[in-house]
Chains A and B, each alone.
Chain A
Amino acid sequence: MTNLALTHFSLASCLGVGLAENLRALKQGHSGLRLCDFETVSLPTYIGKVDGLEGERITGSLAPYDCRNNRLASLALAQDGFVTATEEARQRYGADRIGVFAGTSTSGILETEIAFRRRDPVSGALPEGFRYRERQNTYSVADFVQKTLGLKGPALVVSAACASTAMAFGNAARMIALGLCDAAVVGGADSLCLTTLYGFHSLQLTSQNPCRPFDEARDGISIGEAAGFALLERADAVVDNASIRFLGYGESSDAHHMSSPHPEGLGAKAAMEKALKAAGLQPPDIDYVNLHGTATKAGDAAEDLAIAALFGASTPCSSTKGMTGHALGASGILEAIVAALCIRDGFIPASPTTRCLDPKMLSNYATSGAVKPIEVVMSNSFGFGGGNCSLIFGHPR
């Protein structure tokens, strides 16, 4: 695969806004989950909520795009000098030579949920000022990011449930390799809404506690929200040699069921194998696997079998969802940035909500984390519909 560098990245999650706050929480093993107090939702579950979005506003010419999902995207873009970095890239490559490959599963559906409660009692019409294109449509976040950054290259939204933003890395890598763009903004946002909270509840997949990945007593997910972006450039075009490298990706389908994974994790294993092949690496080359690990009974068991089949019981792995919650469509970019931070700062994150590791698990689950040099990290994202994506990031040396 063409050697690509993550020259800049930014993040907003329930652990904090910006890389420094997220890094601190990850290293301290701090969970950002709290009892659900979102909007009018009354469900016995925990959520990973980004504070203050209710008070944020998107103003000016992009005001029609104002919705929770784009506010979250806007908050992430505003961190860690990301806008300045893309501005410099735009001057270097040209606005039409930088692509925007974003992912989301929720888009701005929250605003439509609220508007449905306010429909005209006689005509059933949605309230005045309702914006479909700029808020609800699945493309909204890519459109918003492209306009915010003044870019004019190829753009799309991947909406493949919880694998969305992970898969967007593949879109960027392919387009850059074929010369259709020189650089790409990859990432996206997924935000809290009633559809996902009540939807996952209806499938009995939400936990009543902060989710416990790989725990014997795990009983479901904690839904979170996050936005993150990475600027991807060809490594040979980058002056800053310290940038984390994007080494490979692999995608597969389960061919099994819409909302439960293949019991032996065959799709997950295929995605990891393809990623290793694309990166030209063998399983022992991976220092840490950031798992999908949502803390459902079936999902964790299937991923464990896939990991054990490839890595045996040696490679440390863990899920960070006990800290961040499951940011659904944004979990790919969130955990890609977690992987980059692990490499940059030399640590394996702990899994603080995992109290009693499931004895049936075969893989080397790193409940307590570790501080040590990390060269290469694999990051897994698996979604509803059976779409799987595995990414590999590495130290520039």
Chain B
Amino acid sequence: MRLYVEGLGLRGPGLVNWPAGREVLAGRAPYVPAEVVLVASELLPVAERRRVTDAVKLALIVGSEAMTHAQASPQTTRSVFVSSGADGATITAILETLATKNREVSPTRFHNSVHNAPAGYWSIATQSREASTSLCAYDDSFAAGFLEASVQALTYNLPVLLVSYDIPYPGALGIVRPIAGIWGIALVLSSQQTAGSICALSVKISRSAEDMPHLPDPDLDIARAQNPSARGLPLLSALAQEAPGRVNIPYVAGNVLEIEIAPMIRSAI
């Protein structure tokens, strides 16, 4: 499968956006973790802005960044949202309520608890009726989402926005399912090369990849291992090099996504 990267979005501890993250992931700037601040998208109606949770804020922040970078229109861009745990804080709050005597679940919490809540708010925020899906593949969620976004871009010849996001579970679930840090990654993929294409990708599913990805910075490599969405960082790191490269991302059932990267050569004309 041959695809083009049209735009990127990134948010993680100490990495406020793709331009800042690119410098760190390319090794041109040191990695200094810092608290992640999440603000609700201004594209949302005021009433909705008050209701959205951190998971939705995170997904919309990185999604908007990638779409702006790609200069893509949401009206003609399909979207693939992927998360291993979705909104663990909202789910925990409901579970705590259900463990009490009165079991009075908040209706807003209930509709925010669905795995596709960010997809719903994205559609409301952008007024896009284009198709959207919401996926999960446990620790391989980023890989599953990336593969599906690639497949959709080639199937429909439309740009596809991929948003991968994961936030920690609080409390008791945080112990049985430790997810560290707040990480969101977004890419806009296209089957067609455009004037704004950042690089070309060649993607295939393989069962025999030699080297598994790691990041040179030890703190970032720990982040990669501890947050399912951060498993997309090796791809972003390879893109940040702005040089031909190759990255393998583990996928389900012993498969691997082999991704070859070829940066666009900008002619001087």
Residues of A participating in the B interface, judged by any CB pair closer than 8 Å:
96, 105, 109, 112-113, 116-117, 119, 124-126, 130, 132-133, 136-139, 142-143, 146, 151-161, 167, 170-171, 174-175, 177-178, 180, 194-195, 198-203, 251-259, 266-267, 270, 274, 383-387
Contacts and interface: CB of A to CB of B under 8 A. Distances in A.
A125 B98 contact: no
Given A384-B111, A385-B120, A157 B137 contact: yes
Nearest to A175: B151
Contacts of A251: 131-133
B241 interface: no
Interface string B121-142: 1011011111111111110010
B122 to A, nearest CB: 8
A109 B205 CA distance: 32
Given A155-B252, A253-B119, A255-B124, A178 B172 contact: no
A279 to B, nearest CB: 15
A259 B121 CA distance: 11
Contacts of A117: 99
A142 B175 CA distance: 24
Contacts of B1: 178
Given A158-B134, A255-B129, A130 B176 contact: yes
Scoring B105, B124, B129 by chain A CB atoms within 10 A of each residue's CB, the highest score goes to B129
Contact of B110 (A167, A174, A199): A199
Contacts of B128: 253, 255
Interface in B230-265: 251-255
B154 interface: yes
A90 B114 CA distance: 34
Contacts of B132: 160, 251, 253, 387
B103 A194 contact: yes
B130 A252 contact: yes
A155 B137 contact: yes
A180 B106 CA distance: 42
A160 B136 contact: no
B84 interface: yes
B253 A151 contact: yes
B138 A387 contact: no
B84 A137 contact: yes
What are the 4 closest A-B residue pairs judged by CB atoms, nearest first? A385-B120, A159-B115, A199-B110, A251-B131
Given A156-B135, A251-B132, A384-B120, 12 more contacts: A124-B171, A151-B253, A154-B252, A155-B253, A156-B148, A158-B135, A160-B132, A171-B148, A198-B105, A201-B105, A251-B133, A385-B121
Contacts of B151: 174-175, 178, 180
Contacts of A153: 253, 255
Interface residues of B, number: 63
B133 A116 contact: no
Interface string B175-200: 11100000000000000000000000
12 contacts: A112-B173, A124-B171, A136-B177, A139-B136, A143-B138, A153-B253, A156-B137, A159-B136, A160-B132, A255-B123, A258-B120, A384-B111
Contacts of B86: 138, 159
Nearest to B122: A253
A146 B252 contact: yes
Nearest to B102: A198
B155 A258 contact: no
Nearest to A196: B110
Contact of A137 (B85, B148, B152, B254): B85
B124 A139 contact: no
B113 interface: yes
A31 B161 CA distance: 42
Contact of B253 (A125, A152, A177, A267): A152
Interface string B78-119: 000000111000010011101100011111001111111101
